[in-house]
């Protein structure tokens, strides 16, 4: 058995603990009913004796009514979960027989009372998510309750992540990323980014790097260029050996042009490159033909198997990195090291920057309300389908384990209250 199932098994034990407590209370209720039966037999026997005291009549009335009340409540409580004495009496074994209807009713109750946008918005109206998150992230995470909470949260997150189907979860994540990329109108975005780069002068290092890289590429392939020039020269030029001089002249001219363009900001070559970038930025935003070409290239990239392979690798790296982050090798590994420093800085910002806190709270409320609006029906359907998949014995055991002890107190109270009512009726009968 792996670590995660062992943890889940340990965490599941308290769920069945109420069944044991209900068993003890059930024995008490049954014992009280048996005691009332014995008391009834004793009182009836004593009343048959000559000169019996009147008190035995009161005792018999109490025990008799207590048995009736105890048996009636035993039948009512038992009928919720099973057929009394195994007899198929109508309208008994209510929970097992109506498991699916109970599941649907519970799902409808949850959706109507907890997962409507209005209810969620009202509950979140005074919730300061930013302050709570900031306090948790900024506080020390070693030792104490917060340390155990952080370690427990990290362990739970890792267990959940490992228990989910890798292929299905990965497919959902990759499909969502692919859809988001497909929705982006890429050409205007690229054009605006290019405009901003040129306006801020951030294109200059790019141009210089491009010129320098071009010079390095020419230098690395100089022998190839010389051979190309030699092969393209006519026989007369090669005969008088002017091809070598021609190659030197061409290469020296190119090297000089690139060197001057790197050094002088107002060099015509640089200005021509800037002009081309400005025109490209304009076309990306305004030219429908350019935008259509960019969208076509984006569609080709998305349909390329290499892009799918890249998404697979990206998902595996993200999943592995997340597992490594939440596991961390230590009790507080998820919130230690560089990740811990970054989260602590974020926590302090959430506590001190009111504009950031306002944005976070507003985003949290809108997100949760949106989740309730879009996925509320799916969430409650998950509850309904889960209960439907349980067999009748499981449903009965879990519900009885949760409320069975209180139901057994109903039997005890029914026995005692029935006895008191019988006692009162007997006293009233004697008085009349």
Q: Can you give the pLDDT at residue 235?
A: 56
H-assigned helices in 93-221: 94-97, 99-113, 117-124, 129-138, 144-163, 166-183, 186-200, 203-220
> Which regions of the chain are under pLDDT 50?
1-19, 141-145, 236, 329-332, 334-337
Q: Can you give the pLDDT at residue 169?
A: 64
In a domain, 137, yes or no: no
* Statement: the pTM of the whole predicted model exceeds 0.75: no
Q: Does 209 lie in the same domain as 112? A: no
Q: How far is CA 111 from the centre of its chain?
A: 19
Q: How far apart are CA 144 and CA 251, in angstroms?
A: 71
Of 376, 390, 370, 290, the residue nearest 15 (C-alpha): 390
Provide the residue range defining the domain that includes 212: 187-283
- Decide: 150 and 330 in contact? Cβ < 8 Å: no
Which of 260, 283, 306 is where one domain is finished?
283
In a domain, 153, yes or no: no
How far are the Cα atoms of 294, 297, 355 from residue 303, in angstroms, in the given order? 14, 10, 42
Q: Can you give the pLDDT at residue 65?
A: 92
Q: Does 205 lie in the same domain as 106? A: no
In a domain, 114, yes or no: yes
Q: Can you give the pLDDT at residue 313?
A: 79
Helix, strand or coil, per DSSP, at residue 304: coil
Total number of domains in the chain: 2
Q: Can you give the pLDDT at residue 19?
A: 43
Q: Can you give the pLDDT at residue 156?
A: 62
Which of 229, 260, 283 is where one domain is finished?
283
In a domain, 292, yes or no: no
Q: Does 123 lie in the same domain as 192? A: no
Share of the chain above pLDDT 90, in %: 7
Q: Does 27 lie in the same domain as 119? A: yes
In a domain, 100, yes or no: yes
Total number of residues shown for the chain: 432
Which of 283, 298, 327 is where one domain is finished?
283
Q: Can you give the pLDDT at residue 90?
A: 84
Q: Can you give the pLDDT at residue 241?
A: 58
Q: Does 362 lie in the same domain as 272? A: no
Q: Can you give the pLDDT at residue 149?
A: 53
Q: Can you give the pLDDT at residue 3?
A: 44
């Amino acid at each position: 058995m792996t670590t995660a199932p062992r943890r889940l098994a340990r965490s599941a034990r308290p769920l069945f603990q109420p069944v044991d407590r209900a068993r003890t209370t059930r024995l008490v209720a049954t014992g009280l009913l048996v005691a009332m039966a014995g008391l009834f037999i004793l009182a009836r026997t004593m009343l048959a004796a000559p000169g019996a005291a009147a008190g035995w009549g009161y005792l018999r009335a109490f025990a008799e009514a207590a048995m009736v009340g105890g048996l009636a409540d035993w039948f009512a409580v038992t009928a919720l979960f099973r057929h009394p004495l195994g007899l198929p009496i109508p309208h008994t074994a209510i929970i097992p027989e109506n498991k699916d209807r109970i599941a649907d009713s519970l799902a409808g109750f949850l959706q109507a009372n907890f997962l409507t946008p209005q209810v969620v918005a009202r509950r979140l109206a005074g919730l300061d998510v930013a302050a709570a998150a900031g306090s948790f992230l900024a506080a020390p995470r070693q030792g104490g309750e917060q340390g155990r909470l952080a370690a427990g949260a990290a362990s739970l997150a890792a267990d959940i992540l490992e228990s989910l189907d890798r292929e299905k979860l990965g497919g959902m994540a990759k499909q969502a990323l692919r859809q988001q990329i497909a929705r982006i109108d890429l050409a205007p975005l690229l054009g605006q980014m290019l405009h901003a780069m040129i306006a801020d002068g951030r294109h200059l290092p790019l141009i210089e790097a491009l010129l320098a890289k071009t010079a390095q590429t020419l230098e690395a392939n100089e022998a190839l260029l010389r051979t190309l020039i030699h092969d393209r020269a006519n026989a007369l030029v090669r005969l008088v050996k002017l091809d070598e001089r021609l190659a030197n002249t061409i290469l020296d001219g190119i090297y000089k042009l690139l060197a001057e363009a790197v050094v002088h900001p107002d060099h015509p070559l640089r200005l021509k490159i800037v002009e081309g970038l400005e025109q490209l930025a304009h076309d990306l935003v305004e030219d429908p033909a350019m935008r259509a070409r960019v969208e076509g290239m984006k569609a080709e990239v998305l349909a390329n198997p290499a892009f799918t392979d890249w998404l697979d690798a990206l998902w595996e790296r993200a999943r592995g990195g997340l597992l490594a982050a939440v596991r961390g090798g230590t009790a507080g590994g998820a919130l230690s090291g560089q990740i811990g420093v970054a989260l602590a800085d974020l926590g302090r910002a959430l506590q001190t920057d009111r504009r950031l806190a306002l944005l976070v709270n507003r985003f949290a409320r809108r997100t949760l309300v949106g989740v309730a609006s879009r996925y509320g029906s799916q969430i409650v359907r998950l509850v309904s389908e889960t209960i439907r998949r349980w067999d009748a014995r499981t449903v009965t055991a879990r519900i009885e384990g949760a409320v069975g002890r209180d139901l057994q107190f109903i039997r005890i109270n029914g026995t005692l209250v029935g006895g008191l009512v019988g006692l009162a009726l007997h006293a009233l009968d004697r008085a009349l």
